[in-house]
Amino acid sequence: MPSDQIQWFPGHMAKTRRLIQENLGSVDIVIELLDARIPYSSKNPEIKRLIGAKPHVTVLNKYTLSDPEACRIWRAYYEKNGESCIFTDCLTGYGLDRMRDAVNTALSEKIKRYEDKGMAGRHLKAMIVGIPNVGKSSLINRLAKNKSAKVENRPGVTTAKQWVTTSLGIDLLDMPGVLWPKFDEREVGENLSMTGAVKDEVVEREAVAYALCERLKRLYPSLLCERYKLDPEFVEGAEPHEIFEAAARKRGLLLKGGEINRDRCADLLLDELRAGKIGKITLERPKNA
Ligand SMILES: Nc1nc2c(ncn2[C@@H]2O[C@H](COP(=O)(O)OP(=O)(O)OP(=O)(O)O)[C@@H](O)[C@H]2O)c(=O)[nH]1
Ligand SMILES: [Mg+2]
């Protein structure tokens, strides 16, 4: 589908939405996992309504794929709005040692009540929610006593809820990834597709790759030029589809007769972004920082 009409809300996501609400009563806190490369687009606008007054912590995952300078800007933005957040990476383990403190801080009153009742050290229970492919199961596996949550690099791997005991003294409830029925802004659908939260099969990959060229030109022109051996002056004056075509030519992605192999070029750009090969990239900044 064209990039201004991207949507992916299959029946199992509507079910997950219900699963979140049904299980709220049995957890102390909700841990919302965002993608540090797209902190705005990966924040499900429905979560607030779904979890109501339940304590909540925000964890921005995939830190090592994202731009540290942009992460600093996002952290300051969260703090300015009176919210705390932590950055983690499930492949390297970065930031995971701060999870317990973040949960304790968010639950300080409840923990105090448990202590007053002589129930200090009681296991806390947390539900992990977030968009598909953001690393919920990976986070749980990093923290679990026994690896047990299935992880794959495609959205929609976890299909049912699953409890896991962790070394933090917190029991974690893994949830399937959930999006929302309609992305109000075109950029949000594009960002979720670029980073792999929306299933590749439901989007026009070429249009998404053009959007990526636009972001890279605007935010990381030198990384773009370096990776695809493009002339900075050319990039400055080029439209996204022209950048796409130039990258295809540089990589020799041509069909017989010299036409550009558009499918292969779209795959290349998106795969290289996801693998971190273009560089450490954050695709958006706070809107009113
Ligand atoms: N670089 C990097 N990759 C990560 C990180 N966390 C997870 N991944 C990768 O992202 C992909 C998805 O991870 P999962 O843990 O299956 O994601 P999920 O949120 O459980 O996905 P669903 O169950 O489909 O909703 C896998 O290829 C992971 O190896 C991270 O912090 N950094
Ligand atoms: Mg999962």
Per-residue pLDDT tens digits for 62-120: 999 999 999 999 999 999 999 989 999 999 999 999 999 999 999 998 888 888 888 77
The pTM of this model reads: 0.95
Separation of CA 172 and ligand 2 centre (Å): 13
Report the length, in residues, of the chain: 289
Name residues of the chain where pLDDT drops below 50.
none
Neighbours of ion ligand 2 (CB under 5 A): 136-137, 157-158
pLDDT of amino acid 123: 84
Separation of CA 40 and ligand 1 centre (Å): 18
172 has which bridge partners?
A: 126, 164
**Which of the ligands is closest to the CA of residue 141?**
1
pLDDT tens-digit series, residues 162-179: 888 888 889 999 999 999
Please give the number of the atom of ligand 1 that sits closest to the Cα of 138.
15
Question: What does residue 49 show for φ and ψ, rounded to 5 degrees?
Answer: -70, -40
Domain covering 8-174 in this structure, CATH number:
3.40.50.300
pLDDT of amino acid 146: 67
pLDDT of amino acid 122: 78
Domain covering 204-274 in this structure, CATH number:
1.10.1580.10
**Which of the ligands is closest to the CA of residue 155?**
1
CB-CB contact of 123 with 103 (8 Å): no
What one-character DSSP code corresponds to residue 5? G
User: From the CB of residue 228, how many other CB atoms can be counted at a distance below 10 Å?
Assistant: 22
Mutation choice for ligand 1 from 151, 164, 174, 179, CB with most ligand atoms inside 8 A: 151
Please give the number of the atom of ligand 1 that sits closest to the Cα of 174.
20
Separation of CA 121 and ligand 1 centre (Å): 30
221 lines ligand 1 (CB under 6 A): no
- Domain positions in the chain are 8-174, 204-274
